[in-house]
Structure 1
Amino acid sequence: MASGTCVHWPRTLAARGTAPLDPSHLRFRRTDPRGGVLHCVVLDCSGSMAHGEPLALAKGVLLRLLERAYQTRAEVALVCFAAGHAEVRLAPSRARRWNDDWVRPITGGGGTPLALGLARADQLLARQARQRPGQQRWLWLLTDGRSTESPPRPAWADHVVVVDVERNPVPLGRCRHLADGWGTEYRSAEAAIADPRLP
């Protein structure tokens, strides 16, 4: 089976330095389609998510992603962040059949340590890259964007998707702003549930 290429983000960001990202900065790495795929979901469990619909909507997206990962025989991981903490709730492993009984106990509260959550996920992805260099690594950020932090794009993710679950009457639009700043994909929660489009 032929190998492909994808962006090598650590080398690309090193080439970019402090300049705006330009096509000339892009660095690529070979990927082996037999190396598999890891979908790392980073779930915002902060207080703003826990009040009202956002966290429930994010759990719906999570369940849909896990279902599709199972169907495509991918691996999954879950990092949750809130109230000054970020923890790996599910270490990288082959996706299994999941149900709401597993997702329902996830609760929220406290502040939104977005940078901490992304840094924890990037550490996980870096470790996976060392162990399985041919694996494609996707990062899915599920958040309402109620954070004033502007962390850098996770360097060890080959693909990043920001899933917007904001449900405020006057949206702040920070999820789209974050995705645009990273040069990554933005999806509404409804679009992510309707068509996760996993590789």
Structure 2
Amino acid sequence: MLDCSGSMAAGGALARAKGVLLALMEQAYRRRERVALLCFAGTRVELRLPPRKAAAWNDDWVAPIGAGGGTPLAPAVAQAAQLLAAGTAAGGEGWLWLLTDGRVRDMPPRPAQATQVRVIDFERGRLRLARAQALARAWGAECLRAQAWD
């Protein structure tokens, strides 16, 4: 799941998140895993990549992903839960990666279908709210700083 909200556009967080996304997709490709991508911003959740076997990706694939608006995390999590349920029913592993700066108003519960969750925190700046870390703690998930990919 990729947070494409307005706060991610500020300071280049979305651009960095796209780079991390490409690295994650490359790992999935090498392992021949199945992947899907949900992007969420404003009031929309968009299935940018329906569930499928990972393929080779490049910058041209992520370049059109834009940002703006609020952070509809709860609807994105609900849609991710549906995708995970279908994937685990078909024998998938139920991994969920959330790339976000954590600037959300709602803290939805962890999708029950997610067997492994990783939150990648893109928050930067002088005033850090640590909401991505709080969400990861609430979900019993690992929270990784985006700087690990720099």
TM class by shorter-chain length?
Answer: over 0.9
Report how far residue 76 of structure 1 moved. 1.0
> What amino acid is aligned across from residue 33 of structure 2 in structure 1?
A
2:13 aligned partner: 54
Indicate yes or no: 2:110 matched with 1:153. Answer: yes
> What's the C-alpha RMSD, in Å, of the aligned pairs?
1.1
Deviates more, 1:165-174 or 1:77-86: 165-174
Q: Is the Cα contact below 8 Å between 1:160 and 1:184 reproduced in 2?
A: yes
Task: Give the conservation status (yes or no) of the 8 Å contact 1:44–1:143.
Answer: yes
Which of 95, 108, 125 in structure 2 is aligned with 1:168? 125
Instruction: Look up the SS of the partner of 2:11 in the other structure.
Output: coil
Shift in Å, 1:190: 2.5
Task: Note the C-alpha offset of 1:52.
Answer: 2.1
Query: Which of 15, 23, 34 is the matching residue for 1:64?
Result: 23
**Equivalent of 2:41 in 70, 82, 93:** 82
The answer to whether the 8 Å contact 2:87/2:93 transfers is no
Corresponding position of 1:104? 63
* Contact 2:36–2:51, Cα closer than 8 Å, also in 1: yes
Cα deviation, 1:99-147, whole Å, max 9, x if unaligned, reads 00101110000111111111111111112223x1x32111000000011
CA distance in 2, matches of 1:48, 1:150: 17
Corresponding residue for 2:51? 92
Does the CA-based 8 Å contact 2:101-2:132 persist in structure 1? Answer: yes
What secondary structure does 1:112 align onto?
Answer: coil
Letter in 2 for 1:84: T
| Percentage identity across paired residues of the two chains | 56
Which residue identity is paired with 2:64? P
Question: Which residue type is aligned with residue 126 of structure 1?
Answer: A
Work out whether residues 53 and 167 of structure 1, in 8 Å CA contact, stay in contact via their aligned partners in 2.
no
Paired residue type of 2:69:
G
1:128 and 2:81 matched: no
- The AA in structure 2 aligned to 1:79 is L
Corresponding residue pairs, total: 150
Report the Cα offset of residue 171 of structure 1: 0.9
After superposition, give the CA deviation of every residue in 1:5-41 in whole Å (9 maximum; x if it has no partner).
xxxxxxxxxxxxxxxxxxxxxxxxxxxxxxxxxxxxx
State the alpha-carbon separation in 2 of the partners of residues 69 and 101 from structure 1. Answer: 18
Note if contact 1:87-1:120 (Cα within 8 Å) is conserved in structure 2.
no
1:184 pairs with 2:141: yes
Q: Give the letter aligned to residue 61 of structure 1.
A: V
> What is the CA–CA distance in structure 1 between the aligned matches of 2:28 and 2:34, rounded to whole Å?
7
